[in-house]
Each structure stands twice: as structure tokens, then as C-alpha cells.
Structure 1
Amino acid sequence: MSRLCLVLVLISCVHSYESAQEVSSLAYYDNEVIPDVISVVPAEYLTVLYRSGAEVEEGNKVTPTQAKDIPDLAWLAPRDKFYTVILVDPDAPSRASPTSRFWLHWLVGNIPGAHVRSGETIAEYIGAGPSENSGLHRYVFLVYEQPGELRFDEPRLTDRSAVNRAQFSINDFTEKYNLGDPVAGNFYQAEYDDYVPILYEQIGL
């Protein structure tokens, strides 16, 4: 899908924000994102669109192949505000035994408005990688409004390593930087496909 098409779809999705928001609460509770990941439903609907054409729709299924590239995000964000985006898997290595909760897939801070690509990347994007026979995993995107531009002292993580990704603490991170509750969010579910071994080779698993 071309960049122009992605932008046009994102604009359309943002315009449908109000109707999307009405169904957010049920989706978060039905899929147990509350209480497993967060304690309150984000106030805004986060549009997440992958280059493959897959769109995240509050718990729908997206394959690892479809989610391998950095997605485009859109939410209602004033240009003079800074934001942090977090993507985590609360079901690593499996939902039945999430001993590596939360596995950090992406972390970007100091995002001006909703311009994610202009933000400060702390953990480079790694797509969904549920192991074989581990069932469905939830992948949760969260957007936090910062109190201002911040100085992050976390180690920078590349997309070529799984080091320091497991057992990321959302609570510790958000408390450390006074981020409060997420202002926008969305999530999808994925299970193993043929792309996962390629991803594991990339990150050294």
C-alpha cells in the first residue's frame, strides 16, 4: 500500500473516531486488557494501520507477517503537546504462563503531536513474534501525554536484539516520567505464522 493511501485511510479513520470510541470499553474488558495491562480505558481511539493494509481494530486478529513493519498511528493530538507510545505483549511466552510480561515491542518518547516518526526512539520496533503453539497473544498500543519534553535515561534498544525487552514494567516507566493514564490506545491479537522464525533470527532468539 502506498504512503498516500495510508495517509488517506488514516484521515478517514480519525474522522470516525467518535463512533469507534463508543465500543472501546467493552473490547478492553472482553479481552481482559483491563486489568491485565491497564486499569482504565484510554479516552481516545488510536488508529493503527500497517503497510500490509492490516488495521488494528480492538482485538481483531493480525498476523505477524502483516505486522512486521512499523505501523502508522493517528490520534487527536494538539501540536504543542508531547507524547509517548508504548507497544507491549502481556502474553509472553504464552497467555497461560506470562512469565515475561510485559515484552516490549516498541517505545517512542517526545513525540510532537501525533508525529511518531519525529519522536525519540527508545526501543526500536519489533513486530509480533508469538512462539509456535503458544496460542493467541495480545499486542497493546498505548499513548501517554507527557507533562512536557522529557529526558529519557533508558538504554536504547535496537531491532536486532531481544535484550532488555522482557518484563518491561509499564507502571514503573509511567510513574518515573509522570505520564498518568494512557490517553489513547488500541490492540490486536496474533498467533504464530511463518514469519516468526525470520524475526527470531533477526533478534537472536
Structure 2
Amino acid sequence: MGTICKFCFNNVNIIKLPLSRHGHVLRGKPPGVARSLKERLEEINYKDPSLHYKVDIGFPKQSSKSSTDSKGRLNIYRENKHLEPLARKKQLEIPLNEVKEVWKRESAASQIKAIADHYGIYDDLFGDAYFFPSVMLDVHYKQSEDSFAAVHRGNVIKPSEAVTAPAVSYEADADTLWTLILTNPDGHFTLKDAEYVHWFVGNIPGNNISKGEVVWDYLQPFPPRGTGFHRFVFILYKHEKKMDYEMLKKDGSCLRLTDRTFRTLDFYRERQDDITPAGLAFFQSDWDSSLTNFFHNTLNMQEPVFEYDFPPPYHPPQKWFPLKQAFNLYMDRYRDQKQIAKEYLLMKLSKTHPFEKPPPPLKYPNAHRYEEGTPSWLKTEIRKNRLGWGRINDF
């Protein structure tokens, strides 16, 4: 063992790292002092209230205190006191339809707004504006005679499940006018702050969508491969007079994506004196195999695929005698990876017969001896091949 002189020892900078209770080195501030993940996210997403003032552009929120205040809850408890013994005996039947109606009347608007805020719906579509969904949208994609894919609040529906236009229903008087829009704020290929409109039906009398004015025909979701989940948002607007949408219409079924470029904020700003957002529902969708045919045959375009470009791996300069590393694996680090993959593929194909079954694996792979003079690195490769390990079995 070497020694160090007194002069060198006196000039060495000794750094003391704090150790945890189990002997691990602590990097950064301890948990009690460092900021939490929630605090860091709040700092990153902070918006100055003086610059980002939220504006309510919807109908006034209807508040019902019949069952939310303390007196209302006490009255409900007294009226339904006889139900407690049934609940304890697991004999109480709950009318789900009545519960749903109470939820729609008292809590749905606030909860849907909170969920939409969480998914960034208002920020990406309306900027600094928001609204409470006062009209409940019931959206269903028909799958078969007995099954439907319902749109709730951010649930996942695959593109193959949303090929045709959904059935949309809501409560409305027959003498009212509405506009329904389905838009995707995540899918535009060329513009950053633009959307693709997938469905636009205007001047709907009451809730009879079939009698509305079709501005854009329905187009199924088409999130490209590698882009993750896209949000598809249904927005229902109410207006007192018939709106003129002739400037928005395109010829034919409008399968050119550039013709479907849309901005919800610009659309609302131009008509904010006449229309009011009243309903909201949305779902998420990601790529599936049915979209390959849709891009090629319906949109008549090459299917876009988004992949992450990994930087090339760093390899230090080669050494004459690498220690504690397999010789062949060390050399493969500095070779063309495509050439290595080609060699492994040819190696496997040389042992594969087109009309015969592969030979059975060895019953005791580690019991077979190696030929005399076999180097250690080659023994490792032979043992991995016998056990079915390594890259040759991945091709």
C-alpha cells in the first residue's frame, strides 16, 4: 500500500458529506427543509392575479341550500331516520336515478368545473375565462345493439370506439337555440395554439340535434402514434337568435385538416354578445391500430409517427486492456449497432429451419462441458445461448 507525504496530506481538501441514519449520503436539503413537490409545482405554475384575472362567461351558478346547510341536513336526517336500521342490515335499496338527479341539481356544475380546471380545459380553450356547466350533456358512442361508450369527464375512449357521431342529449325547451362543438386542443400538426374541430352543429332547435345546421361534419379522433392522450371537448352554447355560420362552412366533408383549424377563444370573442357556454363534457383518446387505415384511406395522407430522438450514448476512449468487462461486449460498444443487430439476426436465421420445429432446449444447460482452450468471454456467450439469454433470443 502506498504512502502519502506530510506536505501532500496538509494540502488535501477534505470534504465532509452529511450521512443519513443508515449511512447514505444526503444530496440536497433534508425533507423537512426542502420544498415539497406540491410547493415546486405551485411555484412553476404560478400566475400573477393582477395579470390573469379569471372571468365567468357562463350563466349564473344556481345554488341550492336545501340539503347543503346544517338545517337542511338535519331535516333530511329526521325525515329518513327509519332508513338507518335497513342500512345496518344491508337491506336498504338506494334509488340511483334520484341520487343522480340530486347530484345534477346541486353538485354537478362545481365538480365538472373543478375537473375541467384540473385538465386545463378552460386555460387552453378560453384563456382567462371559465363557466359553470349548467346544462348536463349526455354523450354516448354506440358500440353494438346493447352497448355504448359513454363520455363522462376525462375517461378514455379509443378511436375505434368513436368512428361515428355520438348520440347527444340534454334538457332544453323547444323554442331555444343551441350550438354544439367538438374540438381537440392537443392535435394540431402545425400551429401551436390552434385546434382541430371534429364536429360543429349550429342553430339546434331545443335538443333536436338532427335538425341543427351542420357546419362541420363529424370526424373521428385521430391522435397520432407517440403523442399520448388527447382531449376531445364537447361545448354546448346557448343563444337567443339564429347565428350566421356561413363564413365557417367548407365544401364537402372537409377532410383537409387545414380546413378544420379552429380556435375556441376567437370563435367566442367574435360572438360573445350573442352566445353563452352552458354545457361541457370531454374524454381522452390515444392511438390505436385502426388509425393506420384512417390516415391512409380517409385523410389520404401518410400516417405521422412521433418518436423521441435519444442522444448517442457516451463512450470513453478505448483502452488496450479493459478490466472486469467481457471482451466481446466491450468491443461491441464501439461498433455500428445496426451491423451488430444484423449479425445476431443472421446467426439466429442460420439455426432456424422454415419447415421444421426448432430443436428442444438442453435439459441441463450448465452440465455440458466446454471445448478445451475456450476463452472466458466465449464461455459466457455459450452459456447464455444455452440458457436462452441475451440478444440473439430477442430477434
- Mark yes or no: TM-score above 0.5: yes
Q: Matched residue of 2:245: which SS?
A: coil
Deviations 1:135-155 (A, max 9, x none): 100000001112212232222
Q: Is the 8 A contact 2:142 2:149 kept in 1?
A: yes
Deviations 1:54-87 (A, max 9, x none): 1111111111111111011112222111111111
TM (norm. structure 2) is: 0.45
Q: Is the 8 A contact 2:182 2:197 kept in 1?
A: yes
Instruction: Determine if the alignment matches structure 1 residue 27 to structure 2 residue 123.
Output: no
Q: Is the 8 A contact 1:93 1:130 kept in 2?
A: no
Q: Is the 8 A contact 1:107 1:124 kept in 2?
A: yes
The counterpart of 1:127, out of the listed 203, 214, 220, is 220
Farther-moved stretch of structure 1 (136-145 vs 70-79):
70-79
How far did residue 121 of structure 1 move? 0.2
Tell me the equivalent position of 2:104: 17
Matched letter for residue 118 of structure 2: D
TM (norm. structure 1) is: 0.82
Deviations 1:78-112 (A, max 9, x none): 21111111111000148xx9626211101111100
Farther-moved stretch of structure 1 (14-23 vs 34-43):
14-23
Tell me the equivalent position of 2:264: 170
Farther-moved stretch of structure 1 (161-170 vs 110-119):
161-170
Tell me the equivalent position of 1:40: 130
CA 1:169–1:179 in 2, change beyond 3 Å: closer, same or farther? Answer: farther
Q: Matched residue of 2:173: which SS?
A: coil
Q: Is the 8 A contact 2:141 2:164 kept in 1?
A: yes
How far did residue 115 of structure 1 move? 1.0
Give 1:73-84 correspondences, 5 Å limit: 73-84=168-179
CA 1:91–1:110 in 2, change beyond 3 Å: closer, same or farther? Answer: same
Structure with bigger RCO (C-alpha 8 Å, 6+ apart): 1
How far did residue 166 of structure 1 move? 4.4
Q: Is the 8 A contact 1:83 1:113 kept in 2?
A: yes
- Structure 1 CA distance, aligned partners of 2:253 and 2:181? 15
Q: Is the 8 A contact 2:125 2:265 kept in 1?
A: no
CA 1:194–1:74 in 2, change beyond 3 Å: closer, same or farther? Answer: same
Q: CA RMSD for the aligned pairs?
A: 2.5
Which of the pair is proportionally richer in helix?
A: 2
The counterpart of 1:202, out of the listed 263, 282, 298, is 298
The counterpart of 1:50, out of the listed 141, 152, 155, is 141
CA 1:24–1:127 in 2, change beyond 3 Å: closer, same or farther? Answer: same
- Structure 1 CA distance, aligned partners of 2:197 and 2:121? 16
Aligned residues: 192
Instruction: Determine if the alignment matches structure 1 residue 150 to structure 2 residue 243.
Output: yes
CA 1:157–1:58 in 2, change beyond 3 Å: closer, same or farther? Answer: farther
Which of the pair is proportionally richer in strand?
A: 1
Q: Matched residue of 2:294: which SS?
A: helix
Matched letter for residue 173 of structure 1: F
Matched letter for residue 291 of structure 2: V
Gaps of 5+ in 2: 1-96, 302-395
Q: Is the 8 A contact 2:181 2:199 kept in 1?
A: yes
Q: Which structure would you say has the larger Rg?
A: 2
Instruction: Determine if the alignment matches structure 1 residue 63 to structure 2 residue 158.
Output: yes
